[in-house]
Amino acid sequence: MKIKKYKKLSTSKYLIELENNESLTLYEETIIKYNLLYKKELEVDKLNEILEFNEYGEAYEKCIKFICKKLRCKKEVTEFLRKNSYNSHIIDTVIERLEKNNILNENNYVKSYINDKLYLTKDGPLKIEKELTDLGIDSRIIYDNISLIDKSIVEDKVRKYIEKRRKTNSKYSQNMINNKIRQELLNLGYDIELINMYLDIDNEGNDDILIKKDYEKSLNKYSKKYNGRELDQKIKNYLYSKGYKIDDINKLF
């Protein structure tokens, strides 16, 4: 079947007009592989083969654009191709080519992912590791890169987080604040030993001042309605609800 006309649609895509007035959109790679520019003829018995190869080229070009916007891992590219209704053979072939050309590189992806998470979010190593695992990254690649994280960066993030949260929760007991911060940092993916180490720094004596203030406040409030053991119990319940330790509360009575 004779080719009447070529019309360039983009950098790598052409509209091919045939002698029967039908048209095909083919990628440059397809045209070169099947020598269509030179022959100016499309062999009908090879049409299915040409269209299949062209679909593969289309999938590859879409992936290039997809990855250029943002680094992607193999799982993300695979899901992208599935959503675009490509069959498993085309997906596997495209993935293999992307990896061969170093366009899809899981190690580079992990390095970039860790760097972004460390400097642009509050997330810690354990959360980052879990997210990478959920993305289907090879555990060896994850471990090799997670182990390279500068510990001082992680420690600095924990310290700054604790300082900020203490300032915004200063009206609560230190014990309550610590429990709250500890759980938040655990959820963000930090190691419990590191969290506890920084929670203990400059922590001594803070509750002594606060508990006395809250004791006086509750005494002034409840003494207007209660006395004796009932008054003591009301004050204890109030202090306990503020997060103070039982031993520290009992020292006041």
Q: What is the DSSP string of the chain?
A: -BEEEEEE-SSSEEEEEETTS-EEEEEHHHHHHTTHHHH-B--GGGHHHHHHHHHHHHHHHHHHHHHHHS---HHHHHHHHHHTT--HHHHHHHHHHHHHTTSS-HHHHHHHHHHHHHHHSS--HHHHHHHHHHTT--HHHHHHHHTTS-HHHHHHHHHHHHHHHHHHTTTS-HHHHHHHHHHHHHHTT--HHHHHHHHHTT-TTHHHHHHHHHHHHHHHHHTTT--HHHHHHHHHHHHHHTT--HHHHHTT-
Pair 211, 249: CB distance under 8 Å: yes
- Number of other CB atoms surrounding residue 16 within 10 Å: 20
Per-residue pLDDT tens over the stretch 164-222: 998 887 667 777 888 899 999 999 999 999 998 888 764 545 566 667 777 888 888 88
According to the model, what pLDDT value does residue 207 have?
62
Residue 61 confidence (pLDDT) above 60: yes
Q: Which residue type is seen at 58? A: E
Pairwise CA distance, residues 144 & 146, whole Å: 6
Per-residue pLDDT tens over the stretch 62-117: 999 999 999 999 999 999 999 999 999 999 999 999 999 999 999 999 999 999 99
According to the model, what pLDDT value does residue 227 have?
86
According to the model, what pLDDT value does residue 230 have?
84
**In a 10 Å sphere around its CB, with 0-12 CB exposed, 13-18 middle and 19+ buried, how is residue 178 labelled?**
buried
Pairwise CA distance, residues 94 & 49, whole Å: 16
According to the model, what pLDDT value does residue 229 have?
84
According to the model, what pLDDT value does residue 114 have?
97
Radius of gyration of the chain (CA): 33
pTM of the model: 0.73
Pairwise CA distance, residues 137 & 57, whole Å: 26
**Mean pLDDT confidence for 157-164:** 92
- Per-residue confidence at 44, pLDDT binned at 50, 70, 90? confident
